[in-house]
Every structure is written in C-alpha cells, then in structure tokens.
Amino acid sequence: MSLYITDECINCDVCEPVCPNEAIFMGEIIYEINPNLCTECVGHHDKPQCQLFCPVDCIPLDPNHPETREELQAKYEKLTAQKTASK
C-alpha cells in the first residue's frame, strides 16, 4: 500500500524533504502523497521516513492503494530506472 496523509496534518514541513521518492507535495490545504511515487520507502529505508518523522502520526497506509512488498520493490526499481534515464 502506498501511504496517505490525513486531515490531522499540521503542515509542519517535516515529511516532504525526507521522502526519497519525492512523492510528497503540498496540496490545496495539507501535504499529500502521490500513490504512483510512494514505495513506503522500500528500496531506500527499512521504514517509511515520513511516518518516522511525522509529529502528529497522520500518515497511515492507504486502503485505496493496496500493494505487496514485491509490488513496492518493483515500483522502486521502475522509478530508479526512470530517474537514471532522465539524467
């Protein structure tokens, strides 16, 4: 599953810079996570960095985007290949 940010978000700006996939962005009201870019930090870290740093614990798993660890790993590899190709 990718992650998502609930409306408990206080816009503290901590999650966005720690996301290795650049999946977090400022939405209209609060930060949001692009599920196409979120790998729950699979391939980068053992735990999702946004969840570790979030002071209000408002970043749960997104039930609308279920993914296995294997799918997250494949997404990470695809995103990494795209970044390498665009350099």
Q: Over the stretch 6-54, which tens digit does the pLDDT of each residue have?
A: 999 999 999 999 999 999 999 999 999 999 999 999 999 999 999 999 9
**pLDDT-based confidence at residue 87 (cuts at 50, 70, 90):** low
pLDDT for 32: 97
In contact, 62 and 32? CB cutoff 8 Å: no
Rounded average pLDDT over 55-71:
94
Torsion of CA 9, 14, 17, 23, to 10 degrees: -20
Can you tell me the distance from the alpha carbon of 29 to that of 51, in angstroms, rounded to the nearest whole number? 19
